């Protein structure tokens, strides 16, 4: 039996801060300096005991439908739709609209999203890309100064320069138009009511406001919303009405997203972006009117008999998770167990190899050729896996996946901040939603328009365009979608959904999801136990160990193997559902305020 010493998680209670980034010269260094978004929503609790037998006693079970989202009010909004006979897509709309009200720092109408969807009636898995796009006036030097050097990071983020064309509203409308069953306008009722009457500010939102109060104070509209009349930040338990958001929702519910992309809401967005004091942006009415979502073929990699599926570029999530799992297929992780430093050596180096390929090759495939098939080809992953056979890898470089043409590129230098939200839904008809949604950094650009925050998604592009004469795949280009690590996942078994899973967390999303899959598939832990398990994440060489958990005990062994170790807060927000025949088992991350509802 496994040693239970490692398999114990302490709920995080310390408030976490976002470190200022002075320069954007190195993706590895810059990303390592970014601390997670605040997530602890309650005082310290007793340790959560992980069930080694795999019986999900701490998960929620049901037999009809289930939803897991990052805020209780969002879960309830979706549950109300399902109780009233709506399907998973109907509930998806209600959940996102409520998240934009009660968890505005993470996602909303001003951002973008990726959706992986199982259509039960047609037995078809598909995915939808609602990622933001760069304005047509954007140039590759958007985030460089007059000397061609990258801007200071928050000088680029805060204000209009970083705002891309939002994709979330059109994603909701287009997918609902294709798969929804309830009238569009009825799905807005819960969010409109709460926006009019007021909602209670959560501990997590209040903590996030406190940590970011200087940047939130920069623009009057944002300050007036997130601060009290006496100038102090909103506190946990305060009531906040958002009449502007309610008005926006009413317009979209009655007029559709034309109100957002072409009407007075669009005009307010453009005016806010272009007139942002000190850092105006390029977004125009034409950019908004031209936006389209895209349906994309899912990326799937087989792992221990399961097909782990997600969305492809511009997301790097499914490809990178697939590469991590694919390089590990030859190794007996089950035999090693979760307490083995060698198991974590293999997982860490598999991740490092995958991230090297990610930074070299992955970007918006509508603009840059991406060797998608080559990156997850069985032979290529087997050869990459051989590199990990002996000891910790001293040096990790991108591989040479098969291209159908010659291409030379430089490694990316973008960073991706760990805000975002993920939710999962399975309805009584068998439809499954796995959706990750974001405005990028916590509170995005810090600009508000029409009651919602605008994204800073363009800072997910590389600030540099070339290195040593070679182009960077993820450079800024007009109309292009920035690379993302969002990893909405549906795991298939025998051609039907077995699990839906995902997380926020910037580029660490990839490690959070991969760890949870390995814990469940290789080590036999229940879904909730797999989510609870302490995080050990390695992207670029440094091993991040989750502070306040038994992961810290691995520091000496990992250092002896040759890794630099960093003990830090790792604030995931994993939500998942396991579908075991007629039984649904939900899991929600104790590191945030997520809630599972099932009936």
**Residues belonging to the active site:** 420
Residue position matching structure tokens 């997203």: 257
In this structure, are residues 378 and 372 in contact, taking their beta carbons and an 8 Å threshold?
A: no
Half-sphere exposure of 501 (CA within 13 A, CB side): 31
Give the H/E segment covering residue 588: strand 583-588
Q: Are strands 536-538 and 542-546 parallel, antiparallel or unpaired?
A: antiparallel
Q: Which of 198, 192, 191 is nearest to 241 (CA)?
A: 198
Taking residue 327's Cβ as centre, other Cβ atoms within 10 Å add up to 25
SS3 285: helix
What tokens were used for 476?
A: 């800024």
Q: DSSP letter string over 202-244?
A: PHHHHHHHHHTHHHHTSSHHHHHHHB-TTSPBP-TT-EE--HH
Half-sphere exposure of 516 (CA within 13 A, CB side): 31
Give the H/E segment covering residue 310: strand 306-310
What tokens were used for 472?
A: 């960077």
End-to-end CA distance of the chain: 34
Rounded to whole angstroms, the Cα distance separating 216 from 221 reads 9
Residue position matching structure tokens 């010269």: 25
Rounded to whole angstroms, the Cα distance separating 579 from 290 reads 39
Integer CA distances (angstroms), 130 to 145, 173, 269, 432, in order: 30, 11, 18, 18
Rounded to whole angstroms, the Cα distance separating 365 from 375 reads 14
Integer CA distances (angstroms), 87 to 2, 66, 80, 81, 425, in order: 41, 11, 11, 8, 9
Q: DSSP letter string over 133-196?
A: B--TT--TTTTB-TTSPBPPHHHHHSSSTTPPBP-HHHHHHHHHHHH--S-GGGGGHHHHHHHH
Rounded to whole angstroms, the Cα distance separating 7 from 502 reads 21
**Which residues neighbour 40 within 8 Å (Cβ) at sequence distance 6 or greater?**
11, 12, 13, 14, 15, 16, 203, 204, 207, 571, 591
Q: What is the CA radius of gyration of the chain?
A: 22
In this structure, are residues 440 and 92 in contact, taking their beta carbons and an 8 Å threshold?
A: no
């Amino acid at each position: 039996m496994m040693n239970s010493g490692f398999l114990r998680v302490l709920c995080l209670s310390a408030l976490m801060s976002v470190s200022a980034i002075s320069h954007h010269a190195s993706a590895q260094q810059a990303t390592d300096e970014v601390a997670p978004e605040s997530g602890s929503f309650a005082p310290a609790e007793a340790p959560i005991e992980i069930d080694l037998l795999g019986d999900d006693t701490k998960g929620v079970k049901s037999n009809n439908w289930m939803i897991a989202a990052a805020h209780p009010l969002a879960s309830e909004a979706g549950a109300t739709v399902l109780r009233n006979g709506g399907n998973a897509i109907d509930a998806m709309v209600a959940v996102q609209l409520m998240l934009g009200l009660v968890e505005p720092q993470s996602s909303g109408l001003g951002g973008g999203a990726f959706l992986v969807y199982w259509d039960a009636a047609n037995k078809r898995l598909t995915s939808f890309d609602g990622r933001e796009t760069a304005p047509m006036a954007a140039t590759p030097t958007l985030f460089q100064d007059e000397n061609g050097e990258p801007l200071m990071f928050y000088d680029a983020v805060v204000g209009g320069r970083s705002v891309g064309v939002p994709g979330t509203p059109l994603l909701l409308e287009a997918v609902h138009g294709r798969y929804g069953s309830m009238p569009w306008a009825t799905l807005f009722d819960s969010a409109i009511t709460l926006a009019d009457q007021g909602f209670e500010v959560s501990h997590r939102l209040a903590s996030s406001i406190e940590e970011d109060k200087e940047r939130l104070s920069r623009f009057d509209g944002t300050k007036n919303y997130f601060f009290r009349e006496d100038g102090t930040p909103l506190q946990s338990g305060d009531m906040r009405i958002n009449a502007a958001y309610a008005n926006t929702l009413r317009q979209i519910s009655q007029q559709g997203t034309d109100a957002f992309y072409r009407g007075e809401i669009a005009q307010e967005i453009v005016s806010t972006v272009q007139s942002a004091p000190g850092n105006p942006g390029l977004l125009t009415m034409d950019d908004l009117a031209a936006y389209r979502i895209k349906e994309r073929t899912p990326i799937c990699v087989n792992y221990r008999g399961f097909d782990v599926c997600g969305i492809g570029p511009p997301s790097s999530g499914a490809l990178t998770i697939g590469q991590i799992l694919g390089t590990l297929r030859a190794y007996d992780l089950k035999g090693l167990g979760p307490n083995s430093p060698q198991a974590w050596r293999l997982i860490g180096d598999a991740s490092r190899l995958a991230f090297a390929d990610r930074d070299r090759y992955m970007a918006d495939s509508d603009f840059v050729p991406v060797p998608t098939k080559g990156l997850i080809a069985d032979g290529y992953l087997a050869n990459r896996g051989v590199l990990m056979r002996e000891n910790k890898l001293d040096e990790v470089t991108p591989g040479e996946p098969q291209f159908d043409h010659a291409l030379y590129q430089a490694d990316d230098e973008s960073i991706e901040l760990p805000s975002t939200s993920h939710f999962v839904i399975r309805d009584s008809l068998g439809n499954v939603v796995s959706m990750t949604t974001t405005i990028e950094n916590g509170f995005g650009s810090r600009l508000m328009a029409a009651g919602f925050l605008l994204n800073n998604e363009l800072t997910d592009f590389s600030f540099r365009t070339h290195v040593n004469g070679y182009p960077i795949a993820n450079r800024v280009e007009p109309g292009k979608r920035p690379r993302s690590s969002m990893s909405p996942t549906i795991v298939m078994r025998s051609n039907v959904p077995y699990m839906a899973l995902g997380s926020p967390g910037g580029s660490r999303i990839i490690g959070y999801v991969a760890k949870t899959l390995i814990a469940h598939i290789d080590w036999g832990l229940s879904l909730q136990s797999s989510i609870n398990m302490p995080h050990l994440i390695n992207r670029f060489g440094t091993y991040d160990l989750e502070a306040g958990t038994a992961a810290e005990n691995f520091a000496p062994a990992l250092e002896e193997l040759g890794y630099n170790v960093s003990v830090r807060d790792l604030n995931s927000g994993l939500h998942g559902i396991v579908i075991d025949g007629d039984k649904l088992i939900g899991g929600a991350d104790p590191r945030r305020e997520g809630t599972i509802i099932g009936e």
